[in-house]
Chain A
Amino acid sequence: MSLLAQVDPSEWLTPERLAAALRIAVLLVVGFPLLFVLAAITGRSLKKRLTPQVAMLVRKGILYLGGTLLMVTVLYQMGFRLTALLGAAGIAGLAIGIASQTSVSNIICGLFLIGEKPFAVGDVIKVNDTVGIVLSIDLLSLKLRTFDNQFVRIPNETLVKTPVTNITRFPIRRFDIKLGVAYKEDIARVSEVLREVATANPYCLDEPEPLIMFTAFGDSALELLFAVWFAKADFLKLRTSIMREIKERFDAEGIEIPFPHRTIYTGSVTDPFPVRVVKDEGKGRPAE
């Protein structure tokens, strides 16, 4: 006689078991779809009031927490002893936690970054030597697009541990240009020329006023700092135009930008530097 033939359905399908099966079916068929709908509605409504990252966090939190509660309830309805399961989960959790320290650290750091808001999607930031536009701020990492169109993933833990420069946080920025002019030049005239260059450039703001500072007596030149302010959206246009305009104006005014140079003395200022011409034996002419 087969095993199935030995089972009496009327003994197995008791009213209590049928009720439990119905409860499990309701939980699975209604509970999970309802959970997804609830998470989606909550996420969409929070997006209008909070940042997309926080809305994503809340939506995923509802999904994972709700899904876990539903599964535990289903298992309980099926008659599993949860205390043993929780005990096993605790031990497994400890093992997984030790193994996934970095991931958990990244998640925690991600939460801190979302709360602190040092930058937002669309900002241009610099992390170590990497400069790029923030594409997304996720739980484990940040995604950047560099200006030469490379995709960079930076773990959140790195962002919390290292200085991050948000280049586009404020609406205006200053562009600093270090210049050197020959020692023979008149600083006041050079300053006036630079001021005129800034006034004529459409991307330089009138205020805050451009800064012209005589910074040092360099080895080869008088060193100046010329700093102009601009709206952050005009960075590229300003940078390409003002450097060219300075050069053109200096050329027109006869202001020299010297190369680095050294003056060599032979021991006496007035005696000429001795030169000895050596004949190249192989080719019959003086060596060059």
Chain B
Amino acid sequence: MGWTCSPPRPAPRTGWRVLPARVAAMCVVELQKLRHDRTELYTRAIQPALWLLIFGETFTRIRAIPTGGVPYLDYLAPGIIAQSTMFIAIFYGIQIIWERDSGVLTKLLVTPTPRAALVTGKAFAAGVKAVIQAVVVVLIATLLGVGMTWNPLRLLGVLVTVVLGSAFFSCLSMTIAGIVLTRDRLMGIGQAITMPLFFASNALYPTAIMPGWLQAISMVNPLSYEVDALRGLLLGTPAHLALDGGVLLLAAVLGITVSSSLLGRLAR
């Protein structure tokens, strides 16, 4: 047996340094899982491809939606990036419930990891998936002839936007998981809210053509801010980048706070 004497116990990381370390640990695990099983990457590419190919191409011909001079397919592409990454994040809570039932979560909660750090780690791990998804959608859109920027700074902005948006929606999902505690209920609620979040945003059409009540909903929907930022960064259309970034950051922080306060319910 290789254990001759007890190795020295690690010196504790303290204070602010705990958070980035835990985020890194969770992201590494997410990448390892994706490396072992890439099925999800391929199947997740189908829906956005269909949206762009069928919905996008058709509505480009109809020219019914005022996009401000941008071809509709170009206008749609950032919306589909936001939508497809949100769809992944909104079901992230299922993984938390699975980890709870299997004991993985219990064990993580007995490590020197504050709950907020664990949730932040998970939220950013969901962001890893979202970034890969965003790259896939950008590639599909490029193949379909959408002219997007290749400016590295703007692409970095896209990355940050997608991660923040995904962090919020995965925390929303973990919050629901903390309330309903079962996979079936979370699936049901997830299914029920994804489409309204998608349609009550500017992903498919500008909010200006919506009825007033829907515009109001769109105003408080973080997805709208994500789409606005992605459009501005990728297409160079007028956008409110500072406001978008601020709202997304605030939403992510709020999501992390609420879902980490509910994590105790999952530990019980």
Bound together: no
B residues touching A (Cβ–Cβ < 8 Å)? none
List A residues at the B interface (Cβ < 8 Å). none
